[in-house]
């Protein structure tokens, strides 16, 4: 895996791959030069994109030589590296599309929508600052369409069963509604959990609105390993194949009511983690070697800062901190967590959670509720036909 090093700091050895330039970095135990390092990262991502292309064609998502993608951008190093990699691939695709028509190559037109979900909830009367950072991204990557969407766009989405959630405060602005909802959740972990789920719903809705064939997320091996254990700790272990693995994700329409939602079927959207086979440190190093403007990237320092109070620390923070430390010395452990999860079966569920949208383990839910005394008869009656998985129940109700 990658280790941060200055140019020429790898004992003056030549690159193990090209044998020409001096090695400046180590990647997966090999001392390599900058261009070979970047090539390794690009090949890893390109292979994932090839798998996505085959699956989208097989599923009919790619039609008439058109393959549009929605890309989630958090401004972190992993999603930033993904956008840069896609720009490299689009440059190569543009060159191929300029081939003479006598060749057998069929041009594919691609439009990439890069979406940033703004999770800030400004107070009443506060003006929203212009998204200067996103504008700079748009200037740097003119091939792509950039857009910022507020987290409040989640309110009213038909992919969320709002009847299963606490009633939103009426007569106030959307920002105040979400803030009131988060303030009344049991813990900081619950608020972070719902925020992440709402962000995913908004990205999926944007992908559907733009008629894209897939949603691309920038989770690295490191972040997927952290997500695996954090979701398990929250009570969603049964749903890991749908949350962590690549593949088609069902979008259920709850606007027809929870009783008919399963009967009317659901829309399918391919969700792929393009850089899932690369570690976070490798992607961070790639952004530097590829010449990216580092001022475009916002580092998440919450997991690196010293712990002052455990009150506001979330399960996600704990797992992120843990796997970033493990990645430094035991990268194979991190990779094994993700690879093991990828082996889990992913059958079509008979019931889906109204919040996270993945499979419900009915037997497991009943067993957990019975052993922990979570659900009373009154609560079950009030919930009616709306259903949440055990993890979402714990996030919403404590």
Is residue 282 very low, low, confident or very high in pLDDT (cuts 50, 70, 90)?
very high
Amino acid 135: pLDDT:
94
Mean pLDDT of 262-291: 88
Lowest mean pLDDT across 42-46, 141-145, 218-222, 377-381: 377-381
Between 34-43, 187-196, 233-242, the lowest mean confidence (pLDDT) is in 233-242
| Confidence check: pLDDT of 281 > 70 | yes
Quote the CA–CA distance of 226 and 320 in Å, as a whole number. Answer: 5
Mean pLDDT score, 87-101: 79
What does the pLDDT read at residue 126?
A: 52
**Does the pLDDT at position 27 exceed 80?**
yes
**Which CATH code fits 60-121+129-363+384-395?**
3.40.50.620
Selected residue with higher pLDDT from 208 and 3: 208
Note the pLDDT tens digit of each residue in 302-337. 655 555 556 678 999 999 999 999 999 999 999 999
Q: Would you say residue 130 has pLDDT above 60?
A: no
Asked whether residue 277 carries a pLDDT value surpassing 50, the answer given is yes
187 or 63: whose pLDDT is higher?
A: 187
pTM for the predicted model, two decimal places? 0.88
Q: Give the closest residue to 333 by CA, choosing from 343, 321, 324.
A: 324
Structure-model confidence comparison of residues 93 and 234, the more confident one? 234
Q: Is pLDDT at 5 greater than 60 in this prediction?
A: no
SS3 of the chain: CCECCCCCCCCCCECCCCCCCECCEEECCEEECHHHHHHHHHHHHHHHHHHHHHHHHHHCCCECCECCEEEECCCCHHHHHHHHHHHHHHHHHHHHCCCCCCCCCCCCECCEEEEEEECCCCCCCCCCCCCHHHHHHHHHCCCCEEEEEEHHHHCCCCCCCHHHCCCCCCCCCHHHHHHHHHHCCCCHHHHHHHHHHHHHHHHHHHHHHCCCCEEEECCCHHHHHHHHHHHHHHCCHHHHHHHHCCEEEEEECHHHCHHHHCCCCEEEEEEEECCCCCCHHHHHHHHHHCCCCHHHCCCCCCCCCCCCCCCCCCHHHHHHHHHHHHHHHCHHHHHHHHHHHHCCCCCCCCCECCCCCCECCHHHHHHHHHHHCCCCHHHHHHHCCCCCCHHHHHHHHC
Residues 182-187, mean pLDDT to the nearest whole number: 93
pLDDT tens digits, one per residue of 206-259 = 999 999 999 999 999 999 999 999 999 998 888 898 899 999 888 888 887 655
What's the confidence (pLDDT) of residue 376?
A: 43
Q: What is the pLDDT of residue 377?
A: 46
Neighbour tally for 69: CB within 10 Å: 24
Residues 336-349: tens digit of each pLDDT: 999 999 998 877 77
In this prediction, residue 13 carries a pLDDT of: 87
202 versus 375: the higher-pLDDT residue is: 202
**The length of the chain, given as a count of residues:** 398
Residue 291: what pLDDT?
Answer: 92
The most confident of the ranges 31-45, 113-127, 292-306 is 31-45
Instruction: Output the pLDDT for position 357.
Output: 87
Residue-wise pLDDT for 353-384, tens only, equals 999 988 887 665 555 555 554 554 444 444 45
Residue 131 binned pLDDT confidence (cut-offs 50, 70, 90) = confident
Mean pLDDT of the chain: 84
What residues form DSSP beta bridges with 66?
A: 63, 109
Percentage of residues in the chain with pLDDT exceeding 90? 57
């Amino acid at each position: 895996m990658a280790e941060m090093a200055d140019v020429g700091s790898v004992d003056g050895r030549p690159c193990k791959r090209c044998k020409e330039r001096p090695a400046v970095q180590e990647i997966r135990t090999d001392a390599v030069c900058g261009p070979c390092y970047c090539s390794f990262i690009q090949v890893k991502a390109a292979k994932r994109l090839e798998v996505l292309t085959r699956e989208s064609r097989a599923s009919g998502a790619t039609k008439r030589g058109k393959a549009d993608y929605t890309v989630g951008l958090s401004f972190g190093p992993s999603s930033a590296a993904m956008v840069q990699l896609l720009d490299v691939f689009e440059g190569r695709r543009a060159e191929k599309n300029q081939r003479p028509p006598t060749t057998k190559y069929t041009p594919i037109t691609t439009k990439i929508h890069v979406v940033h979900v703004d999770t800030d909830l400004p107070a009443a009367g506060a003006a929203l600052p212009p998204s200067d950072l996103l504008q700079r991204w748009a200037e740097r990557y003119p091939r792509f369409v950039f857009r910022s969407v507020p987290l409040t766009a989640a309110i009213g989405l038909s992919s969320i069963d709002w009847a299963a959630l606490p009633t939103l405060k009426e007569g106030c602005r959307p920002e105040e509604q979400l803030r009131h909802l988060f303030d009344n959740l049991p813990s900081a972990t619950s608020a972070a959990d719902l925020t992440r789920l709402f962000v995913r719903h908004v990205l999926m809705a944007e992908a559907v609105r733009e008629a894209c064939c897939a949603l691309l997320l920038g989770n690295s091996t490191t972040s997927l390993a952290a997500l695996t254990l954090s979701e398990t700790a929250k009570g969603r272990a049964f749903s890991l194949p749908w949350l962590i693995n690549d593949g088609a994700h069902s979008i259920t329409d709850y606007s027809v009511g929870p009783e008919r939602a399963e009967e009317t079927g659901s829309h399918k959207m391919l969700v792929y983690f393009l850089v899932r086979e690369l570690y976070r440190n490798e992607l961070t190093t790639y952004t530097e070697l590829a010449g990216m403007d580092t001022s475009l990237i916002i580092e998440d320092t919450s997991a690196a800062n010293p712990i002052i109070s455990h009150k506001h620390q979330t399960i996600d923070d704990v797992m992120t901190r843990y796997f970033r430390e493990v990645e430094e010395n035991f990268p194979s452990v991190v990779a094994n967590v993700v690879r093991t999860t990828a082996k889990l079966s992913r059958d079509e569920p008979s019931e889906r959670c109204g919040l996270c949208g993945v499979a419900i383990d009915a037997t497991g839910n009943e067993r957990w509720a019975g052993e922990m005394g979570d659900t009373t008869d009154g609560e079950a009656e009030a919930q009616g036909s709306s259903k949440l998985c055990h993890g979402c129940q714990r996030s919403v109700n404590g």
